[in-house]
């Protein structure tokens, strides 16, 4: 079963198959009845009736089927034809009572169409034929045959009609039950196919997820390996630069060594940003209890030697209000705070006498609100949305990789939080972060 296959498609396809098979069966019986009529004509010399009535019945059936190919009208015609053959045989055999069973044979054959309504034309014709021809015979018409009995009372006729009606009713009931059972089987087949298809999709998804997890692990190992292989020589280069700075150097060499040191740090920072982005995008959230006082102490210790020689030391103030435990991903929070505080230090305002960055944290049972305020150079309002874009830099004088704030926004969203920016040139910047408490 394909994904596009519907229950109605299966239902229609099966009924069409039933229709074709029943049509073939009707062909066999119709020609058999016509041939039987010709056989009776040999013994009773009723060729005109056998050829005329039987032939016209076949013509009526096949003409209807040919003229109305998209209609089921021919099925009702074949129901009438079975009744006509019954009447033909009764006439050919001068009222032989057993010929009435031809109608019951036709009624049983019609069950294959699984349409109880097809019993109605045959039953109606049998009743009209019996009533009309029986009445005419008992009026004295010699050439109209209904029964070989010398007499038939009204009571006998009613009982005969009642029993015939029961036969038609039972055949109609069987047809109706067969159709209902068929519909149940189709529905079960459809549901089984749909279940198998969904199971196959789930298996394919599980396999895809497994391949994705494997790919992520391999990518993590690759990123770690590359970063380690890149950072190791950079650390060695910084060590060499440090040794050079300890000795006497020509001013020209000293200047270039300083530039080399700055470039090494910039490249190292870029590698760290790529690592942070890679880990944040693929690793699941590691929920644990977070103590902001300890976290901010670690972040500040990592950044205390960040200022260059031409920059003043920036005071980092912290204010933590908490009365409940806060749970989140400590590593990701460290990335957020490290990037935002380092930006405040990096973009301090040279016009301010006392540069600072203040981190305030308010914790409740449901969330934590982090506010990072500085009195740095600020950001123009037209750039507020752009600063969160990957590799966006406000100007050519901007330092860093252009990934910092992008990583911050991605990390905040990974923690199901939101971040907002308030800033004006010359008046500093404020980042407001709202994070849910992930305590289970």
pLDDT confidence band for 66 (50 / 70 / 90):
very high
Torsion of Cα atoms, 377 then 383 then 386 then 388, to 10°: 30
396: pLDDT strictly greater than 50: no
Cα dihedral across residues 63, 69, 72, 78: positive or negative: positive
pLDDT in tens, 270-295: 666 666 666 656 667 788 888 888 88
Query: 76: closest CA among 107, 45, 122?
Result: 122
Is 61 in the same domain as 189?
A: yes
Position 205 in a domain: no
pLDDT at 100: 77
Q: Are 362 and 350 in contact (CB under 8 A)?
A: no
pLDDT at 158: 80
Domain CATH for 313: 3.30.565.10
Position 181 in a domain: yes
pTM: 0.47
pLDDT in tens, 37-48: 999 999 888 899
Distance CA 213, CA 192 (A): 31
Position 219 in a domain: no
Domain boundary among 173, 199, 225: 199
122: pLDDT strictly greater than 70: yes
257: pLDDT strictly greater than 90: no
Domain that holds residue 47: 7-199
N-term to C-term CA, the chain? 43
Position 245 in a domain: no
Least confident span in 80-84, 148-152, 334-338: 148-152
pLDDT in tens, 332-359: 898 899 888 888 888 888 888 888 899 9
pLDDT at 151: 62
pLDDT at 402: 66
Least confident span in 33-47, 67-81, 215-229, 306-320: 215-229
Position 229 in a domain: no
Distance CA 345, CA 352 (A): 13
Q: Which residue has the higher pLDDT, 387 or 427?
A: 427
Position 18 in a domain: yes
Is 289 in the same domain as 432?
A: yes
Instruction: Give the best-scoring range by mean pLDDT among 26-40, 328-342, 403-417.
Output: 26-40
pLDDT at 222: 67
Neighbours of 329 (CB within 10 A): 22
pLDDT at 378: 86
Q: How many residues does the chain have?
A: 440
Least confident span in 106-110, 144-148, 224-228, 234-238: 224-228
Position 233 in a domain: no
Is 176 in the same domain as 311?
A: no
pLDDT at 239: 74
pLDDT at 63: 93
pLDDT at 2: 45
Domain boundary among 180, 199, 218: 199
Position 13 in a domain: yes
Tracing tokens 């934590």 back to the chain, one arrives at 368
Is 302 in the same domain as 410?
A: yes
The mean pLDDT value for 227-243 works out to 69
Is 18 in the same domain as 141?
A: yes
Mean pLDDT taken over the chain = 81
Domain boundary among 168, 199, 230: 199
**What is the tally of structural domains in the chain?**
2
Instruction: Give the best-scoring range by mean pLDDT among 111-120, 186-195, 214-223, 240-249.
Output: 111-120
pLDDT confidence band for 119 (50 / 70 / 90):
very high
The mean pLDDT value for 375-396 works out to 76
């Amino acid at each position: 079963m394909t994904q596009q296959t519907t229950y109605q498609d299966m239902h229609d396809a099966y009924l069409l198959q039933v229709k074709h098979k029943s049509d073939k069966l009707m062909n066999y019986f119709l020609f058999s009845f016509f041939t039987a009529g010709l056989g009776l004509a040999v013994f009773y010399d009723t060729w005109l009736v056998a050829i005329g009535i039987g032939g016209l019945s076949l013509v009526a059936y096949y003409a209807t089927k040919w003229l109305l190919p998209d209609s089921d009208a021919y099925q009702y015609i074949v129901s009438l034809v079975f009744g006509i053959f019954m009447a033909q045989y009764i006439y050919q055999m001068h009222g032989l009572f057993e010929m009435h069973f031809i109608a019951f044979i036709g009624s049983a054959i019609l069950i294959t169409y699984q349409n109880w309504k097809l019993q109605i034309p045959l039953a109606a014709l049998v009743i009209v034929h019996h009533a009309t021809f029986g009445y005419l015979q008992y009026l004295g018409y010699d050439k109209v045959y209904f029964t070989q009995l010398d007499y038939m009372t009204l009571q006998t006729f009613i009982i005969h009609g009642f029993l015939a009606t029961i036969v038609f009713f039972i055949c109609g009931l069987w047809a109706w039950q067969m159709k209902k059972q068929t519909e149940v089987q189709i529905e079960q087949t459809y549901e089984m196919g749909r279940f198998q298809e969904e199971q196959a999709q789930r298996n394919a998804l599980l396999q895809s997820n497994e391949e994705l997890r494997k790919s992520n692990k391999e990518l993590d190992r690759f990123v770690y390996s590359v970063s380690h292989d890149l950072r190791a020589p950079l650390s060695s280069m910084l060590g060499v630069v440090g040794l050079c700075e300890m000795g006497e150097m020509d001013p020209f060499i000293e200047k270039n060594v300083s530039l080399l040191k700055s470039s090494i740090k910039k490249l190292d920072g870029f590698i760290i940003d790529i690592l942070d982005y890679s880990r944040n995008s693929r690793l699941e959230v590691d929920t644990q209890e977070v103590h902001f006082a300890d976290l901010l102490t670690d972040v500040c210790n990592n950044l205390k030697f960040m200022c260059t020689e031409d920059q003043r030391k920036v005071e980092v103030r912290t204010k933590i209000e908490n009365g409940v435990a806060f749970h989140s991903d400590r590593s990701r929070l460290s990335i957020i705070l490290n990037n935002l505080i380092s930006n405040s230090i990096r973009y301090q305002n040279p016009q301010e006498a006392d540069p600072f960055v203040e981190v305030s944290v308010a914790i409740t049972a449901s969330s934590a609100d982090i506010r990072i305020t500085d009195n740095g150079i600020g950001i123009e309002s037209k750039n507020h949305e752009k600063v969160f874009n990957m590799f966006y830099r406000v100007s050519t004088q901007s330092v860093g990789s252009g990934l910092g704030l992008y990583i911050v926004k991605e990390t905040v969203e990974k923690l199901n939080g939101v971040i907002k920016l308030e800033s004006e040139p010359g008046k500093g910047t404020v980042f407001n972060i709202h994070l849910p408490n992930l305590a289970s």
